[in-house]
Structure 1
Amino acid sequence: MFHDRILWNGLALIAGALVLAAAGLSGLAGAATSDPFAALRVTPSAARAPVMPFDLTTLDGRPVRSQDLAGKVVLLNFWATWCGPCKEEMPSLARLQTRFDSAQVQILTVTADRHPQGIRQFFDQLGISLPVLFDEDQEVSRTFMVRGLPTTVLIGPDGRVSGRAVGPRAWDSDESIALMRHLLEEHS
């Protein structure tokens, strides 16, 4: 009986230690997911370099200049109509835009495709509407070091690159909304 009590006390101590260790680990996991960049697998920009000025034209023929975007969180999504993952994530970008006032958050898609009719069909097929900017000479893509599609670059209201993501994301997820809010609050 004495040995049983020692055994049970030892097991209770071990169980207590395991509970404390698990609580500590879950606290660490919570800390990791509280980082809005990490939660969405977006690489934050350490340099926070200012965006090089650019002028692009929309599918509708309107000019968009980088300086016109000052004061907004800007999500630049580089894509192409032939890119399967781009097609998968595009609806989530459109849904993200509906969650924010375009005076605060602007979702812009950038393509090197040269066939406006194909792009219109692409968006019609998906049933979405987003601004499409043409980067025909791919100068803006080179400036942002786009190597694969889709690539998304996040720009803070201060006109500096905040982060980037290569590959598709669920841009309408809670994590994405939290990241956009973080970028807005960071500069308010």
Structure 2
Amino acid sequence: MRAALLAWLLAGAAQATEPSQPAPDIALPQATLAAKQLSELRGQLVYLDFWASWCGPCRQSFPWMGELQKKYGARGLQVLAINLDKQRADADAFLARTPAAFALAFDAQGEAAKRFAIKGMPSSVLIAPDGQVLWTHRGFRVEEAGELEARIVQALPR
């Protein structure tokens, strides 16, 4: 299943997300926040995460991302996780076991992942309030969480 999903993600046009470049404006299908396009979140620091139900590290990152939203949401951080499962039921089963305390979107077609040239799960992109990509990160390990959080805090609007 992983190989098929990765091949599917890599197929089609992709835009590399390099630091200091504008983040691609993507649709946020079935989003749990009012925004329907990523560009509607301008003015906020966005921690954009791509995940799937079969992703083991995603189970570890969800509680951490919930804590980030809780601690820094009032300072302008918006955590947004986009699910790439082809079947919404797979995502819903994951969320029943590992609830999300942050915004979600569901992109079964993988268009957002293609636009960001995502190559593995989870993958994250930190987007500045002006829409520029600050950095990208692939994977999640608990021992990296402190360093990632420090980088996010450094980028928060003052």
TM range (shorter): 0.7 to 0.9
Determine which of 81, 94, 98 is the counterpart of 1:126.
98
Q: Flag the structure with more relative contact order, 1 or 2, with Cα contacts below 8 A and sequence separation at least 6.
A: 2
Q: Deviations over 1:140-159 (max 9, x none)?
A: 11111101111111101110
Distance 1:61 1:155 in 2: 17
CA 1:116–1:155 in 2, change beyond 3 Å: closer, same or farther?
same
Distance 2:35 2:96 in 1: 22
**Greater Rg over alpha carbons, structure:** 1
More helix by share: 1
Normalised TM-score (structure 2): 0.76
Distance 1:130 1:99 in 2: 12
CA 1:61–1:127 in 2, change beyond 3 Å: closer, same or farther?
closer
Structure 1 stretches of 4+ with a deviation exceeding 6 A read: none
Tell me, yes or no, if structure 1 residue 54 matches structure 2 residue 26. Answer: yes
User: How far does residue 123 in structure 1 lie from its aligned partner after superposition?
Assistant: 1.9
The residue correspondences of 1:71-110 to structure 2 (distance < 5 A) are 71-101=43-73, 104-110=76-82
Matched AA of 2:94? F
Q: Deviations over 1:145-183 (max 9, x none)?
A: 101111111101110111011111449944333212211
Q: Deviations over 1:41-76 (max 9, x none)?
A: xxxx76411112111123559652112110111011
User: How far does residue 130 in structure 1 lie from its aligned partner after superposition?
Assistant: 2.6
Matched AA of 1:153? V
CA 1:171–1:62 in 2, change beyond 3 Å: closer, same or farther?
farther
The runs of 5 or more residues in structure 1 that have no matched partner are 1-44
Give yes or no for contact 1:57–1:63 (8 Å, CA) kept in 2.
Answer: no
The runs of 5 or more residues in structure 2 that have no matched partner are 1-16
Q: What is the root-mean-square deviation of aligned Cα atoms in Å?
A: 2.6
Matched AA of 2:25? P
Q: Deviations over 1:90-111 (max 9, x none)?
A: 1111111111125600001111
Determine which of 95, 98, 115 is the counterpart of 2:87.
115
Give yes or no for contact 2:88–2:108 (8 Å, CA) kept in 1.
Answer: no
How many residues are matched? Answer: 142
